[in-house]
Amino acid sequence: MNPRLSALPLSTWMNHLQGLRNAVEPRAERALALARARWLFRSVQSVGRNVAAYGSMSVQNEGTIQLGDRLTFVGGMMPSSLVCHPGARLSIGSDTQFNYGVSLEAWESVSIGERCMFASFVRVGDRDGHRTAPIVIDEDVWVAHGAIIMPGVRVGARSVVSAGSIVTQDVPPDSLAMGNPARNMSLELVARESGT
Amino acid sequence: MSTRERIRSFIVDTFFVDEFADDDSFLRKGLIDSTGMMELVAFLEQDFGLKLEDRELVPENLDSLTRVVAFVEKKKQQRLPQVG
């Protein structure tokens, strides 16, 4: 064995290798996510820059889908799904993030604003078997795990939808929607300033 | 039991808080969280037979015992003419 190599203990070499791996791995994952998004959204008319998909997804586009810049689709135990039916419109604003298992379906129109956050297993669909009505989600909205946004609903800017909520009526801006059917209360009533 | 005592005992029993002043902010003192606030609203509606509108769920109406009592009394006053 090379005496210079063996001069350092094996653990040091292992640490070096681990450090190299830690530095390279996130970048490789990022590059893979960008490439995967390109492939997944090949049927989408307009895709912004730096859209990343970190897991498998199902995309079915027979209408018009518009995706903003810097979207993130996180991978996980269930693939997210984007469905846009013929003649329908599905648009997502820049910097919005999606966890795994999110289901977006547009029969007429689903519009999502910028900088929104969608937790795992959120469902947004503008047809429920009774009626079809467009859904609008304004900017900076956070929809928590398992929430369902029903047809015809508008969620106002900076609002939060609680986990598991069924949102059947409009949510005003700066509100917290909670329950089934969801009720809205002012965020000022429940949201502490960060860090206090 | 007065309105104030009924609401206070509900809060103490439901949220396991001991001592709090009538004017303490539920939010800033960390007495009630968002789910708890929904419980409080449901309690007010059921026990006092009120119907609270979503736009009434604001800190001015609900963020301390004093405010809740004043709000409930106001809502009761509004309801009376319809009953009578």
CATH number of the domain that residue B77 is part of: 1.10.1200.10
Contact call for residues A135 and A160 (beta carbons, < 8 A): no
Cβ–Cβ below 8 Å for A192 and B41: no
Task: Say yes or no to pLDDT of A196 above 50.
Answer: no
Integer angstrom CA distances of residue A180 from A8, A36, A171: 63, 37, 13
Asked if A178's CB is within 8 angstroms of B34's CB, the reply is yes
Does B84 have pLDDT greater than 60?
Answer: no
The range of the structural domain enclosing residue B7 comes to 3-83
Instruction: List residues bridging with A127 in a β-sheet.
Output: A132
Number of neighbouring beta carbons within 10 Å of residue A25: 10
The domains of chain A are located at 3-190
- Write out chain A residues lying below 8 Å of B41, CB-based: 183, 185
Q: CATH for A3-190, among 3.90.1280.10, 2.160.10.10, 2.60.40.10, 3.40.190.150? A: 2.160.10.10
**What is the number of structural domains in chain B?**
1
Please report residues of A whose CB lies closer than 8 A to that of B57: 183-186, 189
Partner-chain contact B59 A189, CB within 8 Å: yes
Is any Cβ of chain A less than 8 angstroms from the Cβ of B17?
no
pLDDT(A3) > 70: no
Neighbours of B60 (CB within 10 A): 12
Residues from A contacting B (CB-CB < 8 Å) are 162, 172, 175-176, 178-179, 183-186, 188-192, 196
The rounded distance, in Å, linking the Cα atoms of B22 and B3 is: 13
B53-74 tens-digit pLDDT: 998 999 999 999 999 999 999 9
Give the 3-state secondary structure of residue B14.
helix
Q: How would residue A1 be classed by pLDDT, with cut points 50, 70 and 90? A: low
Q: Which residues contact A188 (CB under 8 A, 6 or more apart)?
A: A174, B58, B59
* Closest C-alpha among B32, B35, B20, B34 to residue B66: B20
Per-residue pLDDT band for A190 (boundaries 50, 70, 90) equals confident
Note whether A189 contacts B35, CB cutoff 8 Å: no
Please count the CA atoms within 13 angstroms of the CA of B82 that sit on its side-chain side: 6
How high does pLDDT run on average in chain A?
Answer: 93
**β strands within B1-84, DSSP E:** none
Select from B30, B35, B63 the Cβ nearest to the Cβ of A189: B63
Cβ-defined contact of B37 to A185 (cutoff 8 Å): yes
* Residue B30: closest C-alpha in chain A: A192
